[in-house]
Structures are given as structure tokens and as C-alpha cells.
Structure 1
């Protein structure tokens, strides 16, 4: 699903009115009716007080359309106009007059010095104060109004975006925005729904299709895309009947030191479970027995040192190398890492201490192959790009790193974001159970295993993040969040793949049925 910018949404509105030969008021009516239908389907005429707070721009106009339809269907509606300016939009004024035509009780004008209306715990608040066009800090009275919403504990529904949020920058004061229980967003979700600092302002969201021009929606290139099952399916390549292990590549996992062999074991198992035909581990000698014992499906190579990797040398040419897991940052390891990068010809996935070594030795970034995948956790990312001021600053810094060195960066989080070529791919799977030791090692193994099979690096990163989260979601139903461990994610990769395979078969059967 595409995530459109504010400017693109405005452009889409304009294109739609021109190509469909409708007015902006007609488009606003369409949006308001969609909101009404959503509410009506859930309330079925219940007489719970509904408090609709309207600004004097187009978001407020949407709220007035909703008001009119709720009134004509007999709902208990109380509408308030935030009367703090004289700059009313044309469509707001048109719909303000239309409300007057269906009720003798006109909306209440709230001046920016008035007391706030009483709102009960069981009431419903509809926030139609500001939309995506907000570009300035709000005043103290509005901030207190939003705090009043929150303190009432009433269910709060925001239209398009919680009022007070910007689409392209953070807010400074958490009281300066509405804390919505649900947001009905037009055309696409907003980027701020998925960033750690702003996601808290809406617990849930849903996109309403308001009939924007289909050609605009399909051809417009966006800087962000939301990744779900239907975005993944076109990239999924099921195995063919006559395939053998040689068709699916050799993944080599390089890492480990004394006391950290478990990380390599997890990555190796994940690479194999993700579909790599062969998996080898390259570890110090202390890892030989543990890996041969715990991972009988794999092959184990060792360097000459007993406790750490001091050289990286192997005879075979792997399809991909995943490096850095548990490897440490000893000077001898850094030297081995540098020598490896200088002669390596395989695609790379770099994680953990591999990223830490890049952070301390920035010249090594120039040695990375094109489209190397970096999978840092937040602290490792900070070491790599420096401290960021906010989530938007973080995204800009990561995009700059990605562009300068032509690398793919996975920003791990509740909605992990894969960054490449200036574009953001936002994941929709995963849960808090992934906040556990070893889950990052598993992700590295999954991405490495996908590249081994022939997936290009960007697809492997996006697909790998999705599978990692989906496996954790499936595992959480059995183990819960607290008891979820990294091994469970590996164990449930099979069901995650099966869920995609099932959908693929359903799609093929549906297509065949239509052809008949």
C-alpha cells in the first residue's frame, strides 16, 4: 500500500475533481459519507452522545458532512465549531449552511476563551479540528481542549489524522495533539502512524477509499510503502518440483567468539529454514563442537584461533555472506574483517558487531558491495549515523547513508523500515515478543537465506523482515509475548511460508475461475 505525502494528496484531490468533473464540495461529501457509513455500521442508531469538534478548514468541513448525516439518521449529535479565526474554507462554509437546513439546533461556536463542553466517559468524540494541512504550533486553548478530550477517557475518533500532528515533522509537546483511539484516514495511512514518536497518537487506523482518481493512485510514485501480504506475494518464488539443494544457494554465516556461538547457531538455522539450500558457518575453533552438535544440517569451518576470528579464509564461493553476528570488535577481528572486505566478491548482510566495526572504521563502508544489507538495532544504528533529533531526522540520516554507500538499511522497530534509494518500506508484521535476545540474529539469517536462493537484496530485506515478523506473530499465539524466544521464530517460519503458499494457490484458483 502506498503512503502518499501531503502534497501528493492535495494533487490527487485536484486531479480527481478535474477528471471526474466534480467539485471539491462533492469530494468532501463523498468523504463525509464514508465516515458516516463507518460509524453507522457499528452504532446502528445507538443514542450515545456524539461530540463532533470541527475546525474551520476542510477537515472541519468533513466533520460537518458527518454531522448532517448523523442528524438525518436520528443520532444524538452535538457539534462544535472551533471559532478561533475568520479564515473559513469555501467548502466548510457550504457545509455549515447545509447543516442549518436539517436542524434547528445549529453547531455551537467555541471561541478560544470559552469553557469546554462536558463529555461523559461513555460518549464519543469525533476530532475534525485539523487535517494534514496544519503547519504551525497550536495555541494554549486548543492544547487544553485536546487535554480535555484525553482526560474524559471517551472513545476518540480522528478524521484523516489526529489533530495537531504534522505529516512531515515531529511535534514538540505531546499535549499539542489529539490522542485518538481510532483514525479514519483518506486514500492512504500517514507516515506518522508508524514512527515511534508519533504512532502513540492513534491506537488503530483504517484507510477509507473516497474514490480518488484510479490512474493517480496507481501511477504516482511515493517515498514510502506499507508492506503487507499482498505486497509480498508478487515477490514470493515457491520451489519447483525438480529443484535440489544446489538450486537454492550456499549461505555462509561468519561470526562468533568465545561465549557467543549461540548467535551464529541461530543465524545458521534461520538461513536454512528460510530456504537456503546449503548453510555453512565460519567460526573460531571454540565454535566447532557446539555447532556440529546443535546444527547437524550445516557445515562448519574454523579459523586458526581458539576464541575469536582473527582471519577469514575459505575455499568455496558462497552465494551470500552474513557477517558480524557475535564476532566481537577485537583489533585482530577488525583486521580480519578489513582483509575480507577487500577481497570479497559475494553479496553481504552485515549485522551486530559487523556494524560496530563499520561505525568505528568508516572507511570500511567504501569496501561494501553494492546493495549490502545492514541490519542494526537502535544503538548500533546510532553508532553508525550519529545521534538523531527525532524520527524524521533519523530517516533522513539513514537515507543519506544508504544513498552515499548504495546500501540497504533495516531500521528495526515495532514497524521495521527498510531504506534504499530514498524510499521507505514499512513492515506490518511482528509483535513485542521480538524484544528478546537473538531475534536480530534470526532476522540476519532469514535475509541471508533469501539472498542465497536468488532473491535480490532489496526484496530479500523486505521479505525477510516480513517473514520474521509473521513467524513471531504465529508463534505468539502459542507462547505469548513474554515467553517468545528467538528459536520460536525459526520454528514458525514454516507456517509463515505456508500462509503465503495458501494465498498464492487461492489467487491462482480465483484467476482460473474468472477465465472460465
Structure 2
């Protein structure tokens, strides 16, 4: 699913009006009806008080349309206009007149704190005050109104975006933003729904189709894309009847050190479980017996050193190499890593200590093959790109880094993001159970195993992140968040594959809502 920018949404509104020969007020009516349909389906005429707070721009106009339809269908509605400016949009005024024609109780004008209404915890608040166009600080009394919403404990639903929240920057003051329980977003979700510093302003979200021009929706490229089942299904490569293990490549996992052989065991198991034809593991001598015992399906090559890797040499021709897992940063290991990169032409997935070495020796980044994949956790990412001031700055720094070195970067988190140059792919699967030791090693193995089978680097990363999260989502039903461990994610990869072809049990919106408030490795 595409995630449109603010400017693209404005362009889509304009083109839709032109191509469908309708007015902007007609499009606003369409949006308001969709909002009403969503609420009506769930409330079924229930007489709970609904407080609709409208700004004086187009977001407020949407709120007025919603309020009008709720009124005409017999709901208990109180409508307010937050009078934060003397300027009113044209379509707001159109719908202000329309609502006056269906109710003897005209919208109540709010101008200061003494005008605030009483709201009970069991009431519903609809936030239609500011939309995506807000570009100035809000007045103190409007901030007080937002705090009033929060203090009531009432369910709050935002129209398109929480008022006070920008689509392009992190709020300086969290009390100047409406904290919504649900956001109904037009045409596409907003990027801020998925960033750690801004996702807290809406617990759940859903996209409403307001009939924007199909040609525009399909044709316009976006910098951000949301990845769910429908997006990864075209990536999946089915197996043919006469396939054999040689058809699915040979993955090599290089890593491990004394006390960290478990990391390479997890990564290599994940690579084979996701479908690699063959997996070989290169480890120091101390890893030979543990790997042969714990993972008999793997072949093992050992370094001459007992406790760490001192020279990366092998006599096989792998399809892909997963590098750095549990490897440590011994001086001899670092030297071996540098020599290896100078000679290597095989596709790479680099994780953990491989990333830490690259951070210490940044000149080595230029030796990475094109479209190598880096899978850092937050601290490793900071070592690579430097500190960032907020989530938007982090994304921008990652894009600059990706373009400079021609690498794919996985930003792990509640909504893990795959960044390649100017494009960001936001994953919707996964849950807090993934906040456990070894889950990152499993992800590295999954991506490595997919590339081994012939997937290109970027699709393999997108698909791998999805499968990793989906496997955890299925496993957590049996183990719960606290008891989920990395091995479970490997064990449920088959179920994650099978789930691709199961009938969709929930709506697209419900599946995407499920991506809220999660921690990944």
C-alpha cells in the first residue's frame, strides 16, 4: 500500500475533482459520508453522546458533514466550532450552512477555556479540528482543549490525522497534539503512524476510500510503502515439481566466537528453514561440536583458531553470505574481515559484529558489493550513521547512507523499515515477543536463505522481514509475548509461508492496525 505525502494528497484531491467533474465540496461530502458509514456500522443507532469538534478549515468541514449525517440519522450529537482563526475555508462555510438546515441546535462556537463542554468518560469525541495542512503553533487555549479531551477518558476518534500532528516533523510538545484511540485516514495511512516518536498519537488506524482518481492512485510514485500480505505475495517464488536442493542455492553463514555459537546456529537454522538448499557455517573451532550436535542439517567449516575467527577462507562457492553474527571484534577478526571484503564478490547480509566492524573501519563500507544488506539494531545503526535528533532525521540519514554506499538498511523496530536509497518499505507484521535474544540472528538467516533461493536483495529483505514478523505473530498465539524465543520464530516459518495462501480473516485495516505498538529485534 502506498503512503502518500501531504503534497500528493492535495494533488490527488485536485485531480479527482477535475477528472470526475465534481467540486471540492462534493469530495468533502463523499469523505464525510464514509466517516458516517464507519461510525454507523459500529454504533447501530446507540444513543451515546457524540461530541464533534470542528476546526475552520477543510478538516473541520469533514467533521461538519459527519455531524450532519449523524444528526439526520437520529444520533445524540453536539457539534462545536473551534474558533482558532478568522479565516474559514470555502468548503467549511458550505457545510456550516448545510448543518444549520438540519438542526435547530447550531454548532457551538468555542473561543476560550470557559467555553469547554463537559464530556463524560462514556462519551465519544470526534477530532476534526486540524488536518494535514497545519503549519503553525496552536493557541494555548486550543492546547488546553486537547488536554481536556485526554482528561475526560472518553474514546477519541481523529479524522485523517490527530489534530496538532504534522506529517513531516515530530511535535515539540506532546500536549499540543490530540491523543486518539482511532484515526480514520483518507486514501492512505500517514508515515507518522509508524514512527516511534509519533505513533503514540493514535492507537489504531484505518484507511477510508473516498474515491480518489484511480489513475492517480496507481500512477504516482511514493517514497514510502506499507508492506502486508498483498504486497509480498507477488514476491513469493513457488517451487516446481522437479526442483532439487541445488535449485535453491548454497548459503554460507560466517560468524561465532567463544560463547556465541548459538547466534550462528540460529541464523543458519533460519536460512535452511526459510528454504535455502544447502547451508554451510564457518566458525572458530569451538563451534564445531555444538553446531554438529544442534544442527545436523548444516555443514561446518572451522577456522584454525579455537575461540575466534582469524581468517575467512573456504573452498565452496556460496550463493550468498550472512556475515558477522556473534563474531566478536578481536583484532585478528577485524583484520580477517577486512581481507575478506577486499576479495569477496558474493552477495552479503551483514549483521551484529560485522556492522560494528564497519562502524569502526568505515573505509570498508566501500568494499561492500552493490545492494548488500545491513541489519543493525538501534545502537548499531547509531554507530553507522551517527546520532539523530528525531525519527525523521534518522530516516533521512539512513537514506543518505544507503545512497552513498549503495546498501539496503533494515531499521528494526515495532514497524521494521527497509530503506534502499530514497524508498522506504514499512512492515506490518511482528509483535513485542520479538524483543528477545537471537531474534535478530534469525532475521539475518531468513534474508540470507531467501537470497540463496534466487530472490533479489531488496525483495528478499522485504519478504524476509515480513515472514520473520508473521512467524512470530503465529507463534505468539501459542507462547505469548513473554515466552516467545527466537527458536520459535524458526519453528513457525512454515506456518508463515502457509498463511500467505489462507483466506484473509481480517480486513486490510484490521491487519494493519495489528502493527501498532510492537517491538522487534
TM over 0.5: yes
Q: 2:330 matched to 1:330?
A: yes
Judge conservation of contact 2:169–2:392 (CA < 8 Å) in 1: yes
The alpha-carbon deviation at position 143 of structure 1 amounts to 1.1
Q: Which runs of 5+ in 2 are unaligned?
A: 505-521
Q: 2:176 matched to 1:176?
A: yes
Deviations 1:104-152 (A, max 9, x none): 1100000135341100000000000000101122121111111111110
Q: Whole-Å Cα distance in 2 between the matches of residues 113 and 146 of structure 1?
A: 11
The alpha-carbon deviation at position 396 of structure 1 amounts to 0.2
Q: Whole-Å Cα distance in 2 between the matches of residues 47 and 396 of structure 1?
A: 47
Q: What is the DSSP-based 3-state SS (H/G/I as helix, E as strand, rest coil) of the residue aligned with 1:426?
A: strand
Give the corresponding residue for 2:84.
84
Judge conservation of contact 1:82–1:112 (CA < 8 Å) in 2: no
Q: 2:66 matched to 1:63?
A: no
Question: Aligned in 2, Cα 1:339/1:316: closer, same or farther, shift over 3 Å?
Answer: same
Deviations 1:212-254 (A, max 9, x none): 0000000010000000000000010111110000000000000
Q: Whole-Å Cα distance in 2 between the matches of residues 264 and 84 of structure 1?
A: 59
Deviations 1:152-186 (A, max 9, x none): 01000000001110001110111110110000000
Q: What is the DSSP-based 3-state SS (H/G/I as helix, E as strand, rest coil) of the residue aligned with 2:280?
A: strand
Give the corresponding residue for 2:312.
312
Q: What is the DSSP-based 3-state SS (H/G/I as helix, E as strand, rest coil) of the residue aligned with 1:481?
A: helix
Give the corresponding residue for 1:511.
none
Q: Whole-Å Cα distance in 2 between the matches of residues 415 and 47 of structure 1?
A: 37
Q: Whole-Å Cα distance in 2 between the matches of residues 426 and 503 of structure 1?
A: 23
Judge conservation of contact 2:84–2:139 (CA < 8 Å) in 1: no
Alignment of 1:346-361 (within 5 A): 346-361=346-361
Give the corresponding residue for 1:435.
435
Alignment of 1:338-349 (within 5 A): 338-349=338-349
Q: 2:174 matched to 1:186?
A: no
The alpha-carbon deviation at position 53 of structure 1 amounts to 0.4
Q: Which runs of 5+ in 1 are unaligned?
A: 505-516
Q: 2:12 matched to 1:12?
A: yes
Q: Whole-Å Cα distance in 2 between the matches of residues 268 and 289 of structure 1?
A: 15
Give the corresponding residue for 1:21.
21
Q: Whole-Å Cα distance in 1 between the matches of residues 500 and 64 of structure 2?
A: 43
Q: Whole-Å Cα distance in 1 between the matches of residues 114 and 215 of structure 2?
A: 46
The alpha-carbon deviation at position 440 of structure 1 amounts to 0.1
Which deviates the most, 135-144 or 215-224?
135-144
Give the corresponding residue for 1:30.
30
The alpha-carbon deviation at position 503 of structure 1 amounts to 5.8
Q: 2:201 matched to 1:201?
A: yes
Deviations 1:256-286 (A, max 9, x none): 0000000000000000001000000000000
Q: What is the DSSP-based 3-state SS (H/G/I as helix, E as strand, rest coil) of the residue aligned with 2:443?
A: helix
Give the corresponding residue for 1:452.
452
Give the corresponding residue for 1:404.
404
Q: 2:489 matched to 1:485?
A: no
Q: Whole-Å Cα distance in 2 between the matches of residues 66 and 114 of structure 1?
A: 26
Q: 2:288 matched to 1:295?
A: no
Give the corresponding residue for 2:265.
265
Q: Whole-Å Cα distance in 1 between the matches of residues 114 and 365 of structure 2?
A: 59
Q: Whole-Å Cα distance in 1 between the matches of residues 302 and 242 of structure 2?
A: 33
Q: Whole-Å Cα distance in 2 between the matches of residues 112 and 154 of structure 1?
A: 21
Judge conservation of contact 2:60–2:128 (CA < 8 Å) in 1: yes
Give the corresponding residue for 2:161.
161
Q: 2:239 matched to 1:217?
A: no
Give the corresponding residue for 1:494.
494
Judge conservation of contact 1:271–1:447 (CA < 8 Å) in 2: yes
Judge conservation of contact 2:400–2:421 (CA < 8 Å) in 1: no
Q: Whole-Å Cα distance in 1 between the matches of residues 164 and 469 of structure 2?
A: 31
TM-score by length of 1: 0.97
Q: What is the DSSP-based 3-state SS (H/G/I as helix, E as strand, rest coil) of the residue aligned with 1:480?
A: helix
Q: Whole-Å Cα distance in 1 between the matches of residues 503 and 284 of structure 2?
A: 43
Judge conservation of contact 1:273–1:490 (CA < 8 Å) in 2: yes
TM-score by length of 2: 0.96
> CA RMSD, aligned part only?
0.9
